[in-house]
Chains A and B, each alone.
Chain A
Amino acid sequence: MSISIRIPPSMDYVGRVVSIVRRAKVFVRRMEIEARDSTYHIVMDVEGPADEIGWLIAKLDKLPEVLEIGRTQAAPAIAVAVREGR
């Protein structure tokens, strides 16, 4: 599962996002942050029970600094890499 988040460009807010992710029972396979259009775009691929990922998204969405949040299935290339243990 891939979670995409848009926040104002502040590492304080990145810290807030990470503090929630670290308490979820998920494994973070990839996490990227890119500054674009005056905001930070965070994309992370996480693995774990669907309920737990759902809870994580709901918890992240509670942060007022999270301007947008969405979920998609992880990109196929990453899924293959995961399967192959890379």
Chain B
Amino acid sequence: MALFDAAYFVDDIEVVMFRHEQGAAHAAEGYARVAGRPAVVSATSGPGATNLVTGLTDAYMDSVPVTTITGQVATWVFGRDGFQETDVLGVATPITKWVYQVRRPEEATPAVRIAYEISALGRPGPTLVDLPRDVQLMEYRGEAKIQINVSKFIPPKPREEDVAKAVKILLEADRPVVLAGGGVLWSGATKEVLELAERLNAPIVSTLPGKAAIPHNHPLYMGPAGMHGRAEADAALANADAVIAVGTRFSDRTWGRFRELQERVRSGEVKLIHIDVDRSEIGKNVKPTVGIVADARDALREVLDLMPAAAARSPKFLAWLYEIRKRYEDAMEKAAAEFRHFAPWKVLKAVRRAAPPSAVTVTGVGGHQMWSEIWWEVYEPGTFITSAGLGTMGFGIPASLGAKLADRSRPVVCIDGDGSFQMTFNNLALVREYGLPFVEIIFDNASLQLVKQWQVYMYGNRQIAVRFARNPDFLKIGEAYGIEGIRPSSYEELERAVSWAVRNDEPLIIDVTIDEDKDIVLPWVKPGDWLTQVILPKGMEDVSLAYEH
């Protein structure tokens, strides 16, 4: 209360009142990913603070800078179960880069300043400052020194000998592959990744967060790899003899069974170069041939400086990957004809045609997100925002609002699911209240499709707790918040609707009916499988992702 009362007298603090603290935290993530700097989220003690937990964890998993200030009961009540008392420091400890409880008023200013600075420095992440009520009410007494070591977040310079080893590996490789993670985006290393790939004539593959870093119309970009990646990207990674992985943590979602990769690296079959700003990521899941602890852009620049023009490689590997791409797209074109309503990937193509390249696209979590991973085309770095590491349903709407807050001049399109929508749609109240229009496209299959897919394929088709017997009318929900809605009957109508909303900077809810019985996201590398064990769609039965060389 006292903190907000003080904010009443400060002109340059813009307070945006979300309808749920989780929404505020996701909005801060969306804001940071567009603005490139943290927003500050504030919540009251107890339930206000605990409602932030999902958003903080999401930011921690995806390395997004968010600064949080929580209220706390007075220090003399600590541990006595006072009203709305929660040990939020204890709760937030494993999901934040730094937490601090202010015990003296002179700690407040430096604590918030440090929290803000740390959240964005080096590998970004969330921070939290807890402000007890009695401390908030005390007189300002200047600034105390808080004893911590911030300098450790300043990325070290890459070691020359490691860079030299990396260059040698890349030059000697027959099938080098560049793997771009989310760190490429935060470091601003897109240009260097493209330059390296061009010089090596090597395919670029990304993780799901790394998808935002690479323009998809670049001929060497194969797409994201992994559980629901592009088949050609899975094939590239699985058959590489050298991988330079930049700003990625070797998630099981990208590699399926990363122990397979570890075995290949150990045997020398694959040479692995891992660049990451976070020392603890090097060797965490896969021990690389060469590990470089440095900022991604700095390290790649040094690699490029040391690398002469690479020797010409056989174009056969790339040609094979392009053929897999063509076979996949042909197969999906045929599959679309079997849908009575909308086919998810064709919806994405129609929306992409209507949205300008600079439009920021946000997703919820579920089947629609996986379709977006495979099919959504990113043209400008930083324009694709998703909850990758934590997979937080309900992320889409609040993150879209945060993205729009960060840059009101750019259109924002949210690709959502009916399940995700129903988790956080209360935040639609902010669309009219704060003038934050965005296009909300609901892939409406009346089910938790991705979970259902697992039940169908991995649990003997025993479907439980995945179908919505009765969904609300999403257009009427929009109407209640003063947002127009449409339920299109064709791809053309859908495209026109998106174009209209984007052109007029108007909010719009588009309820797209998806055939739930046909909505199976393929390709799919089942958990624990290796990339070449991918399940491909009908019509690709003769395609193998094992390269014959």
Question: Which chain A residues have a beta carbon within 8 Å of chain B's beta carbons?
Answer: 8, 12, 15-16, 19-20, 23, 39, 51, 54-55, 58-59, 61-67
- Chain A residues within 8 Å of B287, by CB: 51
27 contacts between A and B (CB under 8 A): A8-B148, A12-B89, A12-B99, A12-B100, A16-B99, A19-B93, A19-B94, A20-B94, A23-B94, A51-B287, A54-B283, A55-B283, A55-B284, A59-B280, A61-B279, A61-B280, A62-B152, A62-B278, A62-B279, A64-B98, A64-B148, A64-B149, A64-B150, A65-B98, A65-B147, A65-B148, A65-B149
A58–B283 Cα gap in the complex (Å)? 11
Which residue of A19, A59, A64 has the most chain B CB atoms within 10 A of its CB atom? A64
Q: Are A12 and B101 in contact (CB under 8 A)?
A: yes
Distance A15 CA – B280 CA, assembled complex (angstroms): 19
| Contact present for A51 and B283 (CB under 8 Å) | yes
Q: Which residue of B lies closest to A12 (CB)?
A: B89
Tell me whether B142 is interfacial, beta carbon within 8 Å. Answer: no
A64 touches B93 (CB 8 A): no
In the complex formed, the residue of A with least CB distance to B100 is A12
Of the candidates B89, B148, B150, B152, the one whose C-beta lies within 8 Å of that of A61 is B152
Contact B93 A16 (CB under 8 A): yes
Q: Interface size on B (CB < 8 Å)? A: 24
**A-chain residues with CB within 8 Å of residue B280 when the two chains form the complex:** 55, 58-59, 61-62
Q: Bound state CA distance, A30 and B93, in angstroms?
A: 23
* Identity of the chain B residue whose Cβ is nearest the Cβ of A8 in the assembled complex: B147
What residues of B have a CB within 8 angstroms of the CB of A64 in the complex? 97-98, 114, 118, 148-150, 152-153
Q: Let me know if B89 and A15 touch, CB within 8 A.
A: yes
Q: Which residue of B lies closest to A17 (CB)?
A: B93
B264 → chain A closest CB, angstroms: 17
Q: Mark B79-120, 1 if CB is under 8 A from A, else 0.
A: 000000000011001100111110000000000001000100
**Alpha-carbon gap, A20 to B97, bound state (A):** 12
A25 nearest CB across to chain B (Å): 12
Q: A51 contacts which chain B residues (CB < 8 A)? A: 283, 287
Q: Which residues from 256 to 278 on chain B have a C-beta closer than 8 Å to any C-beta of chain A? A: 278
Q: How far is the CA of A12 from the CA of B89 in the complex (A)?
A: 7
Q: Which of B97, B153, B279 has its CB near the most chain A CB atoms (within 10 A)?
A: B279
CB distance from B69 to the nearest CB of A (A): 16
Chain B residues with Cβ under 8 A from A66's Cβ?
149
B147: which A residues are within 8 A, CB to CB? 8, 39, 65, 67
Residues of B274-308 contacting chain A, CB below 8 A? 278-280, 282-284, 287
Residues in chain B near residue A62, CB distance under 8 A: 97, 152, 278-280
Who on chain A is nearest to B148 by CB? A64
Tell me the bound Cα distance from A55 to B286 in angstroms: 12
Complexed CA–CA distance, A37 and B298 (Å): 39
CB contact under 8 A between A58 and B152, given known A12-B101, A15-B90: no
CB-contacts of B141-163 with A (<8 A): 147-150, 152-153
Residue of A nearest to B90 (CB): A15
Report the nearest B residue to A65, measured CB to CB: B148
B396 CB to nearest chain A CB (Å): 30
Q: With the chains together, A8 CA to B89 CA distance in Å?
A: 16
Residues of B close to A58: CB separation below 8 A: 279-280, 282
**B149 & A67 in contact (Cβ 8 Å cutoff):** yes
Given contacts A58-B280, A65-B147, 5 further A-B contacts (CB under 8 A): A12-B89, A20-B94, A51-B283, A64-B118, A64-B148
Q: CA A81 – CA B366 in complex, angstroms?
A: 53
Partner of A15, one of B93, B100, B278: B93
- A68 closest partner in B (C-beta): B149
CA distance A66 to B90 in the complex (A): 18
Task: Give the CA-CA distance A55 to B94 in the complex, in Å.
Answer: 16
Interface residues of B in 463-518 (CB under 8 A from A): none
CB distance from B59 to the nearest CB of A (A): 16
Contacts of B98 in A (CB 8 A): 63-65
B410 to chain A, nearest CB (A): 34
A44 to B93, CA, bound (A): 20
Q: Which residues of B contact A12 (CB under 8 A)?
A: 89, 93, 99-101
Hey, which chain A residues are within 8 Å of B93, CB to CB? 12, 15-16, 19
B263 to chain A, nearest CB (A): 15
Residues in chain B near residue A8, CB distance under 8 A: 147-148
In the assembled complex, the Cα of A64 lies from the Cα of B94 at a distance in Å of 14
Question: What CA separation (Å) do A55 and B291 show in the bound complex?
Answer: 13
Residue of B nearest to A16 (CB): B93
Nearest-neighbour CB distance to chain A for B57, whole angstroms, equals 13
Per the bound structure, the CA–CA distance linking A45 and B45 in Å amounts to 37
Q: Looking across the interface, which residue of chain A has its beta carbon closest to that of B98?
A: A64
How distant is B111 from chain A, measured CB to nearest CB, in Å?
12
Bound-complex Cα distance A54 to B280 (A): 8
